[in-house]
Amino acid sequence: GDQVEQSPSALSLHEGTGSALRCNFTTTMRAVQWFQQNSRGSLINLFYLASGTKENGRLKSTFNSKESYSTLHIRDAQLEDSGTYFCAAEVLNNNAPRFGAGTKLSVKP
Amino acid sequence: NSKVIQTPRYLVKGQGQKAKMRCIPEKGHPVVFWYQQNKNNEFKFLINFQNQEVLQQIDMTEKRFSAECPSNSPCSLEIQSSEAGDSALYLCASKQGNTEVFFGKGTRLTVV
């Protein structure tokens, strides 16, 4: 069955507001990555975590391996944050990361 | 931030034609992945390599898909006889070890 459950599938935010995206895992994952995919299809690396929390500007991500989830928090959303966000998690090293279904984020003025 | 190079960016083939796409992983990255992303944005893992050796692959019993990563040459993914359902974005990625994966910009295949 699906090992990476991502929610929500779509999210609409006004500029300046924030929200959280979540991925739940149905098996123990070794590491998780978060990507933003732009309208041209390019995947931009946001975070790579084996545990704990990382922050970069207006984005913050947490990975809790024991409780099998990861979150991506966006604050002070900007128009350029629009796109589709994916989490991808690895079971074992060199195994192919398994992707969530994505969250389509629309940021409105 | 990625240095993975995929060519061509766009590929249009007729049904039954061969479609070949290439990927140059980042220098020093021995692990290479190929994914297919369909129009619903779903990612499907196809195959991965460590150096020239296949690590994992999906059941390609259709035998229409083949891939290789020869030494000193780009990696490649080839569809022997394209079908309409193969239309998708094909993404190549590489990584060094216990590190993050970097993706190329993809090859968007349209089978007409």
- A95 contacts B42? CB cut-off 8 A: no
Q: Would the pLDDT of A1 be above 90? A: no
What's the confidence (pLDDT) of residue A95? 81
What's the confidence (pLDDT) of residue B61? 46
Domain count, chain B: 1
In the structure, what pLDDT confidence band is assigned to residue A2 with cuts at 50, 70 and 90? low
Of A35, A40, A95, the CB nearest to B56: A95
Q: Would the pLDDT of A13 be above 90? A: yes
Q: What is the CATH number of the domain that holds B28?
A: 2.60.40.10
Q: Chain-wide mean pLDDT for chain A?
A: 94
Q: Would the pLDDT of A28 be above 80? A: yes
Report the alpha-carbon distance of residue B19 to residue A109 in Å, rounded. 42
What structural domains and CATH numbers belong to chain A? 4-108 (2.60.40.10)
Which residues of chain A lie closer than 8 angstroms to B43, CB-CB? 86, 88, 99
List residues of chain A with CB under 8 Å from any CB of chain B.
31, 33, 35, 37, 40-45, 48, 50, 84, 86, 88, 93-99, 101-102
Q: Would the pLDDT of A32 be above 50? A: yes
Q: Cis bond leading into B74, ω under 30°?
A: no
- A94 contacts B48? CB cut-off 8 A: yes
* Contacts of range A106-109, beta carbons closer than 8 Å, 24 or more positions apart: A106/A10, A106/A11, A106/A12, A106/A13, A106/A82, A107/A12, A107/A13, A107/A14, A107/A15, A107/A77, A107/A78, A107/A79, A107/A80, A107/A81, A107/A82, A108/A12, A108/A13, A108/A14, A108/A15, A109/A14, A109/A15, A109/A79
Condensed to tens digits (0 to 9), the pLDDT of residues A34-81 reads 999 999 899 999 999 999 999 999 999 999 999 999 999 999 999 999
Average confidence (pLDDT) over A85-105: 90
Q: Would the pLDDT of A21 be above 80? A: yes
CA nearest B6 in A: which residue?
Answer: A42
Site from A42, A43, A84, A86 to mutate, B interface, most B CB atoms within 10 angstroms: A43
| DSSP string covering chain B | ----EEE-SEEEE-TT--EEEEEEPPTT--EEEEEEE-TT--EEEEEEEETTEEEEE---TT--EEEE--TTS-EEEEESS--GGG-EEEEEEEE-SSS--EE---EEEEE-
In which domain, by residue range, is B44 found? 5-111
CA nearest A33 in B: which residue?
Answer: B100
Q: How far is B17 from chain A (nearest CA, A)?
A: 25
Label residue B51 left, alpha or beta by phi (over 0 means left) and psi (-120 to 50 means alpha).
left
| Segments of chain B scoring below 50 in pLDDT | 61
- A42 contacts B105? CB cut-off 8 A: yes
Report which residue type is found at B76. S
- B37 contacts A96? CB cut-off 8 A: no
